[in-house]
Amino acid sequence: MITIKNLTKIYDKGRTVALRNIDLDIEDTEFVSIMGTSGSGKSTLLNMIGGLDVPNEGTIEVMGENLSKIKLSNYRRETLGFVFQLHNLIPNLTCLENIELPLFGNSNSSSQMKDKAMNLLRAVDLDEFANKHPKYLSGGEMQRVAIARALVNNPKVILADEPTGQLDSENSEMIMDLLEEKQKETNATLIVVTHDFEIAKRADKIIKIRDGQIES
């Protein structure tokens, strides 16, 4: 599903080697968690799988396609759901409109988009906030909206960078239940970066990164 070969990422003209010769295979429908200390390269790895950043060396293949050879904007829209460490909601759109965003550019009517977005908002138990702007929500609620937005396209690959970083344990469980439920429903591959071992151990496999390398 995802095949990474000899991946290296260097920042600051060589001063920071964020990832060093990483090889990694992630199976179709697998749930993998990534752990490691701050600065070890977790977000860098996720961003490159998500087509948000490009490697200096090495290749990433997702569903048989080399990311350096395809149009990343299409890949992000059609294949991926990305949950960021900070929710990244658009402040001047309502919650419902934020969730509808990834559906633009696909062939959906506006009522279909609204229905899909509403279903996801219901799944995160926030339907009453549909027409409110994000600033009226708590941090945990914003993160739940961000997750609804990441899932609205039924992505084949779900990437989440510390999706529960700012949440209490009850909300964290709800978010993880939702991510896993959606993953199973759509047979997606799920990759979650986390500091929380309780979250990490829910995965089929835990990958540990240290100083830009995978610990075996």
Ligand X SMILES: Nc1ncnc2c1ncn2[C@@H]1O[C@H](COP(=O)(O)OP(=O)(O)OP(=O)(O)O)[C@@H](O)[C@H]1O
Q: Which residues of 132-141 are buried (b: 16+ CB within 10 A; e: fewer)?
A: ebbeebeebb
For Mg ion, the closer of residues 37 and 110 by Cβ is 37
Question: Taking Cα atoms as reference points, which of 161, 131, 147 lies closest to residue 52?
Answer: 161
To the nearest whole angstrom, how small is the minimum distance from the Cβ of residue 7 to ligand X? Answer: 12
Yes or no: say if 129 and 137 are a contact pair by the CB < 8 Å rule: yes
Residues 145-184 that bind ligand X (CB under 6 A): none
For ligand X, the closer of residues 2 and 117 by Cβ is 2
To the nearest whole angstrom, how small is the minimum distance from the Cβ of residue 191 to Mg ion? Answer: 13
Per DSSP, the three-state class of 70 is: coil
To the nearest whole angstrom, how small is the minimum distance from the Cβ of residue 215 to ligand X? Answer: 13
Q: In what order do the strands lie in the sheet with 157-161?
A: 80-83, 157-161, 189-193, 31-35, 205-210, 213-215
Residue 36: C-alpha distances to residues 10, 209, 213 (Å): 18, 5, 10
Write the interaction track for Mg ion spanning residues 18-57; mark x where CB under 5 A is met and - where it is not: -------------------------x--------------
To the nearest whole angstrom, how small is the minimum distance from the Cβ of residue 187 to Mg ion? Answer: 27
Write the interaction track for ligand X spanning residues 17-56; mark x where CB under 6 A is met and - where it is not: -x-----------------x-xxxxxxx------------
For ligand X, the closer of residues 53 and 127 by Cβ is 53
Question: Taking Cα atoms as reference points, which of 190, 215, 150, 197 lies closest to residue 26?
Answer: 190
To the nearest whole angstrom, how small is the minimum distance from the Cβ of residue 3 to ligand X? Answer: 20
Spatial distance between the Cα atoms of 164 and 176, rounded to a whole number of angstroms: 8
What is the size of the binding site for ligand X (CB under 6 A)?
Answer: 12
Q: Are strands 2-11 and 213-215 parallel, antiparallel or unpaired?
A: unpaired
Among 11, 104, 136, 197, binds ligand X (CB under 6 A): 11
For ligand X, the closer of residues 42 and 156 by Cβ is 42
Sorted by sequence, the CB contacts under 8 Å of residue 131 that are 6+ apart come out as 94, 95, 96
Question: Taking Cα atoms as reference points, which of 174, 191, 109 lies closest to residue 117?
Answer: 109
| Window contacting ligand X (CB under 6 A); options: 8-16, 97-105, 138-146, 176-184 | 8-16
| Residues near ligand X, by CB under 6 A | 11-12, 16, 18, 36, 38-44
| Residues near Mg ion, by CB under 5 A | 43
